């Protein structure tokens, strides 16, 4: 195993362990969130974002790491995001959690994994067509929210903390 692969493996084991302990690998937790009945996956994900964005901002301001925004290609993000959501509701897993679910014994996740491998193969065939259609509509490029709004990234961080903590209070009040 190369250093690259070893580092990936160690990071993945820790990630999988925390996903499992947070109980977010379950089909019922994912669909529960979509039915607005159980917000466990949002508590988990948004907490990770609140903590992570501070560290990432400090490291990128110090030029220790470089950010890699994904392109804000309007058609791709809107249509692709919507398609993902539709499939996610039926499958009940996302790519990372399907593998984790298999690890905690939910073996039916193999069907989800098979489906996603099939989807990836189909996308590879469709790519030339999508590239010359949907991807050409409107590409805003690899943009960050602070530059787009013209404010300091710290203002965005503080605003997100306030908004997301507000969501957390609401989740706990409603016992979601």
Distance between CA atoms of residues 53 and 164, nearest Å: 13
Instruction: Give the bridge partners for 73, in sequence order.
Output: 139
Work out which of 132, 136, 152, 156 binds other proteins, going by CB under 8 A. 156
Q: Kindly state whether residue 81 participates in binding other proteins, applying the rule CB under 8 A.
A: yes
Q: Kindly state whether residue 123 participates in binding other proteins, applying the rule CB under 8 A.
A: yes
Smallest separation, CB 151 to other proteins (Å): 11
Q: Residues 34-73: x/- map of binding to other proteins (CB under 8 A)?
A: xxx---xx-xxxxxxxxxxx-xxx-xx---xxxxxxxxxx
Smallest separation, CB 73 to other proteins (Å): 8
User: Residue 19 burial (CB < 10 Å; 0-12/13-18/19+)?
Assistant: buried
Work out which of 86, 158, 163, 169 binds other proteins, going by CB under 8 A. 86
Work out which of 1, 132, 150, 173 binds other proteins, going by CB under 8 A. 1
Number of residues that bind other proteins (CB under 8 A): 127
| Residue placing its CB nearer to other proteins in the complex, 11 or 136 | 11
State how far the alpha carbon of 12 is from the alpha carbons of 8, 17, 45, 47, 60, in Å: 6, 8, 16, 19, 23
Query: Of 102, 82, 87, which is closest to residue 31 (Cα–Cα)?
Result: 87
Q: Kindly state whether residue 176 participates in binding other proteins, applying the rule CB under 8 A.
A: no
Buried b (16+ CB within 10 A) or exposed e, 60-74: eeeeeeeeeeeeebe
Distance between CA atoms of residues 9 and 33, nearest Å: 29
Q: Kindly state whether residue 105 participates in binding other proteins, applying the rule CB under 8 A.
A: yes
Smallest separation, CB 121 to other proteins (Å): 4
């Amino acid at each position: 195993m190369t250093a690259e692969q070893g580092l990936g493996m160690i990071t993945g084991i820790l990630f999988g362990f925390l996903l499992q302990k947070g109980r977010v690998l379950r089909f019922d937790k994912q669909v529960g969130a979509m039915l607005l009945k159980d917000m466990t996956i949002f508590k988990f994900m948004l907490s990770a974002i609140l903590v992570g964005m501070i560290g990432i901002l400090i490291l990128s301001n110090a030029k220790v790491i470089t950010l890699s925004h994904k392109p804000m290609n309007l058609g791709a993000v809107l249509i692709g995001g919507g398609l993902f959501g539709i499939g996610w509701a039926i499958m009940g897993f996302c790519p990372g959690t399907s593998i984790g679910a298999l690890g905690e014994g939910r073996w039916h996740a193999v069907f989800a994994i098979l489906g996603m491998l099939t989807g990836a193969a189909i996308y590879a065939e469709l790519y030339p067509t999508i590239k010359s259609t949907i991807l050409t509509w409107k590409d805003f490029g690899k943009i960050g929210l602070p530059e787009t709004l013209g404010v300091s990234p710290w203002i965005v961080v503080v605003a997100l903390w306030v908004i997301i903590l507000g969501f957390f209070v609401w989740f706990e009040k409603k016992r979601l």
